[in-house]
A and B are shown apart, each in its own frame.
Chain A
Amino acid sequence: MKRPVRRQHQCPACGYPGLAEEPRPASGGGSFEICPCCGYQPGVDDDDRGVTPSEHRRRWIVAGSPWFSRATPAPPRWSPQGQVEKAFGKGGK
């Protein structure tokens, strides 16, 4: 029997495609799911700290694009630059 495929979602800050929840669900507010890649937390970084996804992305890139999570490992052959470009285009704007 096939296991149901759970839809994954993209981080609005770094483009990581493996989030379990929609960052900004239709019910309003943020998902509160912390991106294991860049640490962006919808509902906290934006709604409380006033940091937009693009601003977080800029800061994350300036900091060297470190993998955030201690519990969730980065995918094999993970490329932060490739991920950002795939999600947001060249320059990651």
Chain B
Amino acid sequence: MKYRVGIDIGGTFTDCVAIDTNGRVTIGKSPSTPPNFEVGFMNAIEAVANNLGTSLEEFLPSIDSLLHGCTVGTNALVEGRTAKVGLITSAGHADSIFIMRGGGRLANQTPDYIAHVSMHEKPAPLVPRSLVREIGERVTRDGSVLAKVDEAEVRAAVQSLLDSGVEAFAVSLLWSVSNDAHEREVGRIIAEMAPRAFVSLGSAMVNRIGEYERTVATVVNSLIGPEMTSYLSRMHDALAGSGFTRELGIMTCSGGLVSSTLAQEHPILTIGSGPVAGVVGSQTLARIGDVNEREREGDKALNTITTDMGGTTLDVGILSRGIPSTRSTTWFGQYAYYVPSIDVRSVGAGGGSIIHYHESSGTIRVGPESAGANPGPAAFGRGGTRPTITDADLVLGYLNPEYFLKGGIPLDLAAARTALETVGKPLGMTAEEVAAAAGRLVDSHMADEIRLLSIHEGHDPRDFTMFAYGGNGAVHAPAFARELGVRNVVIPLGDLAAGFSALGVASSDFLVVEEASVMTQHPFDLEKLNSTWSRLESSALERMVAQGVNASEVQFERIAEMRYSQQVHEVPVAAPLGEYTQSTADELVVEFEQEYARVFGETSVMANAGHQVSTLVVKAVAPTGTAGVLRESENGTGHPPLKGERGVIWYEEGLERRPTPIYHGEDFLRGMRIIGPAIVEYPDTTLVVRADQTARITPTGSIMVEITAEESN
């Protein structure tokens, strides 16, 4: 038996998922071991091996693909453990990274922060001004050279940066998207002068117009480059020490895998890959059937919203007809940068969101502040005194104080109650009343935010199935999904939902994305299109082959990003393969008009405005193995045996505690049904089935919650 193994390292746990050739899934879990993550990594594989009744040493040789979602780059950035980077830019334009596009620094901030203008700040520079050098050169939009690079000047700049002790270089010149010769020239000189230094070139990062976002990407890549290299080589050594010598596949934010070698060159691709893996995992399960029959056909088939609710954030992804939304810009704090990414948006609501009394409006509010993991909810007994959503969930009776994380963290009900009471005092509210208010508020806010994100993409959430995972997904999703008018909620693979990213990693394909700005007006410059497609494809193929993929297995996808000349919205259009003629170009226009009308509505179509192709994208994909998770037949009927009964407050019904059946997750089998209100306790998560909802287990082992009532207060 051969296995594909996915490993996702989270803040608390390292999750491991092994899928065998038949699609049978085995999971393992082990505490994360910062800073020596490789220890937890090996332990998690060992946990899987043990669950399969074997040892690590015996299991390793049966692994076909070892695939990894790592947060080391993200952590290094957030914790400031980054390399000393020297930035080289075009003369006269070094300030771009300090200017941060003015108000552009606010683009990804919360409404509260944006509204409070006098408290705005600019973050510390990514590179101190003293480590930025300008070199005299100029390329224009059409790629022609106005001023050439002066080698002596470049050498002097590189030397002075080396003298300042830089360990890594970022080179980002104006219009390197049109002509990268100058950047390559600088790269060559650095390689000569400092062969061991980590170097990122803007044009090799991403080929999109906009020097600010490209420069940030280049700098971020260099900031985490050395750390990533060291991490992956330690990982490699640890694996080799156990006898595993194949190359590791690394998950990227683009939604696929790259080899460990490529990840070392482009570590920026790993940032945000965890939430993206969850979207990919959802996509896999949706495709093989974790949706209701009526959702599987027609225009809205496989429409999926993914929600990952953890301690501090709710991460939301949208798959329209099974295809995840993508974006070209991502943020590190207030810094925007280009990277081709699956679009996952974070909303500041999670189990740790703080419940507080807002004096001037005389109301209870939830968030945006979060207690995070430290001090965490009051019930954790780690010093937190302010009540959080987890405290409310406990007081409402959703959570079992003795069975949280299988009893790993005993919850202090009295502490939760006291914290909630304190908040309610000014309003004369009891702990139960505050908890019910907070539960209702957070479910409503999350529904509002998800609705907003769907509208932003032009979708109505009522046409979607929701995948809910993360530690708190199963607790709240049935409530906020009902608020949204969603009819089905899937808790993917049941208890694995808490560490679901690992499944996404295990079910991803190798993927390389190449982009190029072209900017051509209809009738398009065919020669430019053809030469760009072929350049992108050969470069993507080269990168695939370089990471050990067999050239014959590589499949290409082409996407042309197009827009109306006087408009700003770009629509990605699936473009045909092969050599283009004028008629292919005309087909693109027809396809674009249809897609534009579909996404933005018929009234938006601006027929007389002229058409532009702005960017070409090539995706090279190579499957890692047989995709899929085993579907198994029913092995039970009726409802699971009752584990017990608890008084639970259902805020939609009032403040009375209603005796509610409690079930054990392990007893909940395919073919059984649970009618809400009910609570199903798993080791790592708790499913809260609300009144009029029905839960069952799908053939893959996921929980399907069906919501009959369209909406309710």
A and B are interacting partners: no
**Residues of B with Cβ closer than 8 Å to A?**
none
